């Protein structure tokens, strides 16, 4: 053993798990992170600045951010003591898993799904069990139920709409899962506003359900890192032990307060994204060689009949950044594309059309140069 090896003592599961990484590409049109293409409204930013300026910056935020929790509870239709606020919903996923996972706990996740679940669960010592989606990328509910029960899993994580596929799991299926599986179900609703449905109505009846949501997508606040968790009060008290004190900074708390007080102002951006989603889905589907999977989120998974890196690179050369998801299970020919503004989507479509036409007609090198 090398005495000064910096990795001595690092847990084996940490050494084994691949890092969550994102290459820092810069591009004029950014369609790679499922962000809202419409920024937080300028006048509301001014209101956040005004309120934040009036606070003493030398003071910590409130130990328990009750005013934001109260507003979030009303916003979500749940009660204050069942709400936890986090530095992004990722932090709340982590806190929830910290209190539910012991060494060897089995955690069932669909596959493919958001990579952070397996990363956190593995670092915490869980055995991660992946249940493949169906080939059309829909959820295989029978397999999720049977695998969760038969493996003796402690936790099942589901993401609806699912990143990166856009597929959803309906409440009747969630209900079935909660009836037949005796562990905790972590329901990640990061994109629920684009779908319009939530598992919230199941919370009262099923106290093993935990819902996480974020202000990073529909609410246009990805840079401020604000997420919230909804669960039964007793469970929230336990999960809150695993999050750091003062985890959310006062600026983000203030912005959340302003956002919730003006929630109707965010509706038009969501409506515009939904309108563009319909159009983009139709147009993408009309490009020869591209298969589009149905999506209830603000992004699409597309499949091409050759290595997707080539299309990724070609789009990037034209200032358009999408997400290459070809390393995910089942997605070796896939890219994920966020819904942008009308102009952004038009530029994407025109670049894709030209490139695919040329590649489909056999001019692969030519296509690479021209798109």
Ligand X SMILES: Cc1ncc(COP(=O)(O)O)c(C=O)c1O
Shortest Cβ distance from residue 227 to ligand X (Å)?
4
Which parts of 96-115 interact with ligand X (CB under 6 A)? 114
Number of residues that bind ligand X (CB under 6 A): 13
Shortest Cβ distance from residue 287 to ligand X (Å)?
25
Q: Is 83 left (phi over 0), alpha (psi -120 to 50) or beta?
A: beta
Measured from the CB atom, the residue of 163 and 247 that comes closer to ligand X is: 163
Which parts of 247-276 interact with ligand X (CB under 6 A)? none
**By CB under 6 A, which span of 85-93, 122-130, 282-290, 332-340 interacts with ligand X?**
85-93
Q: What is the dihedral of CA 328, 331, 332, 336, to 10 degrees?
A: -90
Which parts of 120-139 interact with ligand X (CB under 6 A)? none
**By CB under 6 A, which span of 86-94, 173-181, 286-294, 303-311 interacts with ligand X?**
86-94
**By CB under 6 A, which span of 87-95, 129-137, 144-152, 274-282 interacts with ligand X?**
87-95
Judged by CB under 6 A, which of 163, 165, 198, 247 binds ligand X? 163
Compose the 335-364 pattern: x for residues touching ligand X by CB under 6 A, - for all others: ------------------------------
Measured from the CB atom, the residue of 188 and 314 that comes closer to ligand X is: 188
Alpha helices in 7-128 (DSSP H): 12-16, 42-53, 66-76, 89-100, 116-123
Judged by CB under 6 A, which of 110, 154, 227, 355 binds ligand X? 227
188 neighbors 212 (Cβ within 8 angstroms): yes
Judged by CB under 6 A, which of 32, 36, 89, 122 binds ligand X? 89
Measured from the CB atom, the residue of 40 and 114 that comes closer to ligand X is: 114
Measured from the CB atom, the residue of 36 and 358 that comes closer to ligand X is: 36
Q: Is 259 left (phi over 0), alpha (psi -120 to 50) or beta?
A: alpha
Measured from the CB atom, the residue of 160 and 358 that comes closer to ligand X is: 160
Please state, in angstroms and as integers, the Cα–Cα distance from residue 338 to each residue in 116, 119, 223, following that order.
Answer: 19, 23, 17
Q: Is 255 left (phi over 0), alpha (psi -120 to 50) or beta?
A: alpha
Measured from the CB atom, the residue of 216 and 358 that comes closer to ligand X is: 216
Q: How many CB atoms lie within 10 A of CB 261?
A: 13
Q: Is 104 left (phi over 0), alpha (psi -120 to 50) or beta?
A: left
Judged by CB under 6 A, which of 88, 183, 308, 340 binds ligand X? 88
**By CB under 6 A, which span of 84-92, 130-138, 250-258, 308-316 interacts with ligand X?**
84-92
- The full length of the chain comes to 371
Judged by CB under 6 A, which of 36, 122, 159, 345 binds ligand X? 159
Buried b vs exposed e over 85-99: b needs ≥16 C-beta within 10 Å? bbbbbbbbbbbbbeb
Compose the 195-224 pattern: x for residues touching ligand X by CB under 6 A, - for all others: -------------------x-x-----x--
Judged by CB under 6 A, which of 131, 147, 181, 188 binds ligand X? 188
**Is the sign of the CA dihedral 133, 135, 139, 145 positive or negative?**
negative
Q: How far apart are CA 235 and CA 96, in angstroms?
A: 9
Name the residue among 364, 365, 312 with its Cα closest to residue 334. Answer: 312
Which parts of 21-80 interact with ligand X (CB under 6 A)? 34
Q: Does 90 bind ligand X (CB under 6 A)?
A: yes
Measured from the CB atom, the residue of 274 and 349 that comes closer to ligand X is: 274
Residues 6+ apart with CB under 8 A from 109: 117, 118, 121, 128, 129, 130, 131, 156, 157
Shortest Cβ distance from residue 110 to ligand X (Å)?
11
Residues 6+ apart with CB under 8 A from 219: 36, 40, 193, 226, 259, 266
H or E element in which residue 226 lies? none
Could you list the residues that contact ligand X (CB under 6 A)? Answer: 34, 88-90, 114, 159, 163, 188, 190, 214, 216, 222, 227
């Amino acid at each position: 053993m090398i005495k000064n090896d910096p990795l001595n003592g690092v847990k084996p599961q940490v050494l084994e798990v691949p890092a969550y990484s994102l290459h820092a590409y810069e591009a004029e049109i950014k369609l790679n992170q499922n962000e809202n293409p419409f920024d937080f409204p300028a006048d509301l930013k001014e209101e956040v600045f005004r309120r934040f300026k009036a606070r003493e910056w030398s003071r910590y935020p409130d130990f328990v951010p009750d005013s934001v929790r109260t507003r979030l509870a009303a916003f979500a239709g749940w009660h204050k003591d069942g709400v936890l606020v986090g530095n992004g919903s990722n932090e709340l996923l982590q806190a929830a898993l910290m209190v539910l996972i012991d060494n060897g706990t089995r955690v069932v996740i669909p596959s493919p799904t958001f990579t952070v679940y397996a990363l956190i669960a593995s670092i915490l010592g869980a055995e991660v069990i992946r249940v493949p989606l169906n080939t059309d990328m829909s959820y295989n509910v029978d397999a999720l139920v049977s695998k969760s029960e038969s493996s003796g899993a402690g936790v099942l994580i589901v993401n609806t709409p699912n990143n990166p596929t856009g597929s959803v799991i309906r409440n009747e299926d969630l209900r079935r899962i909660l009836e037949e599986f005796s562990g905790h179900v972590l329901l990640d609703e990061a994109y629920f506003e684009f779908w319009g449905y939530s598992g919230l109505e199941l919370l009262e009846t099923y106290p093993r359900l935990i819902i996480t949501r974020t202000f990073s997508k529909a609410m246009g606040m990805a840079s401020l890192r604000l997420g919230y968790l909804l669960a039964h009060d007793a469970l929230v008290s336990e999960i809150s032990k695993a999050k750091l004190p003062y985890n959310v900074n006062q600026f983000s708390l203030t912005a959340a307060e302003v956002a919730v007080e003006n929630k109707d102002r965010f509706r038009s951006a969501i409506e515009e994204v939904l309108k563009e989603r319909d159009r983009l889905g139709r147009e993408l589907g009309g490009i020869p060689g591209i298969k589009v999977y149905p999506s209830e989120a603000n992004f699409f998974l597309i499949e091409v009949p050759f290595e997707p890196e080539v299309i990724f690179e070609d789009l990037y050369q034209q200032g358009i950044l999408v997400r290459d998801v070809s390393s995910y299970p089942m997605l070796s020919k896939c890219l994920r594309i966020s819904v942008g503004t009308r102009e952004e989507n038009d530029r994407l479509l025109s670049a894709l059309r030209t490139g695919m036409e040329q590649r489909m007609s056999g001019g692969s090198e030519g296509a690479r140069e021209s798109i």
